Structure 1
């Protein structure tokens, strides 16, 4: 599906490199989550895969051009003009010159958005808008979907729904998925493999191996603990972090609502 060999990249075109001798082979049916600290080069690698950037050295080979990209922030959820979910998907179908009008109904059904087809884009929740982004990416039956932090700005319940959808697309519909991730819990729970970038280097490991790395702080050297509780421990830890983040977001929203109410009272 996609092969990266001895890839080097820097924005200056010379050392020091942001990405240093990366090698990654992605096969049809894989679900790869790309993880690492902020600033490690995850998004840079994504742009290289998409062809937005060019490697300084090395190569990226793709055996398909039927690739779709779902960005971190969709470009229509806050549209100021009255356009419905169905209309925006149909306009994309026409852009791709797909004649089958049933294609829109197909992707709406795949993403469980049929009942919202006549709703204005601007009236959707964050999770619903993300589903529309994924539905748009599904038009034309892509071989590969690339996502950039698909759970950003979405509440916990909607996150679970989005990742269940991605897992279903991967396992039942055989769509290869590459996702740049900060949501470690969902990455570990849903991926076939994790690609961990650290200090400009990367390595591929199983979700369990990556969980062991986190718990044992082993950096680039995967640990194979067949009978340890690392996988369970790190998943529990990630769940706690996600719940804390969701609570913080809810509190911030409540404070914002209180402020708005107070302002209205003083008008």
Structure 2
């Protein structure tokens, strides 16, 4: 586990309620730059809410989030955080946009609206497409791609802004098993070779056990923030999901 004093995400005593229902209670953690972290927990446990708070899409009832040392509410360099939302690859796409056009739109956060694209922008888009492995179908309509191909397009879109952090909310939902394995291999390579910090939500405990460096287990409160081995040994899986769960191992 990385223990560097440089953190890209810091949450301190985060609380969030919706219509008097407590969704997140007293959650604190830190994610170091370059770390590969999995966020797990039951449905309704607050995972997506926590992601939205980190992204600044929701304001906590109390507590603070810091991004690269700055309070989230004051953080203006949002392009440093790439985000792929839940079910992005499963949505219906009827508008006539190609994969390349989707990826290119990811450059807007850094470049700004209504500004002419530069050679630097075009180079960043090309690099993102190469990294995500979507060059071969760059001219195909997004609606004609498979779920796995779409997922890579949206990751390329996130990468086009040259982020330091990549946040993915259940990125492999609806993707077939073979594509999932290639996808997780891709994330490992991206983390190791590019040094991008990755935080992703998943229900795949096999991935947690064998892929990530650290685990956040959330069920309203934070039940675990540790290395995967400690997580399973402490039986926090059973606590988090309300019953014994057996991880399914994917060996690459």
| TM-score category, normalised to shorter length | 0.7 to 0.9
Q: Distance in 1 between matches of 2:100 and 2:35?
A: 30
Q: Which residue of 2 aligns with 1:21?
A: 26
Distance 1:122 1:191, change over 3 A: same
1:53 maps onto 2:58 in alignment: yes
Alignment of 1:248-263 (within 5 A): none
Structure having the larger proportion of residues in strand? 2
Q: Distance in 2 between matches of 1:215 and 1:49?
A: 24
Q: Which residue of 1 aligns with 2:103?
A: 89
1:10 maps onto 2:24 in alignment: no
Could you tell me which of 42, 46, 53 is aligned with 1:41? 46
1:238 maps onto 2:248 in alignment: yes
1:30-77 CA-to-partner distances (Å, cap 9, x unmatched) read 111111111111111111111111111211111163111101122796
Distance 1:212 1:76, change over 3 A: closer
Q: Which residue of 1 aligns with 2:5?
A: none
1:145 maps onto 2:166 in alignment: yes
Q: Distance in 1 between matches of 2:143 and 2:169?
A: 22
State the structure with bigger RCO (CA 8 A, min sep 6), 1 or 2.
2
Q: Which residue of 2 aligns with 1:255?
A: none
Q: Distance in 1 between matches of 2:136 and 2:145?
A: 12
Q: TM-score scaled by structure 1? A: 0.76
> Structure 1 segments of 4 or more deviating over 6 A?
none
Q: How many residues align?
A: 223
Instruction: Kindly indicate whether the alpha-carbon contact (under 8 Å) linking 1:76 and 1:121 is maintained by their aligned counterparts in 2.
Output: no
Q: Distance in 2 between matches of 1:167 and 1:24?
A: 22
Distance 1:179 1:202, change over 3 A: same
Q: Which residue of 1 aligns with 2:152?
A: 131
Q: Which residue of 1 aligns with 2:67?
A: 62
| Greater radius of gyration (CA) | 1
Q: TM-score scaled by structure 2? A: 0.80
Mark the runs of 5 or more structure 2 residues left unpaired by the alignment.
Answer: 1-7, 69-76, 112-116
**Aligned-partner SS, 2:133:** coil
Q: Distance in 1 between matches of 2:221 and 2:90?
A: 34
Instruction: Kindly indicate whether the alpha-carbon contact (under 8 Å) linking 1:77 and 1:121 is maintained by their aligned counterparts in 2.
Output: no
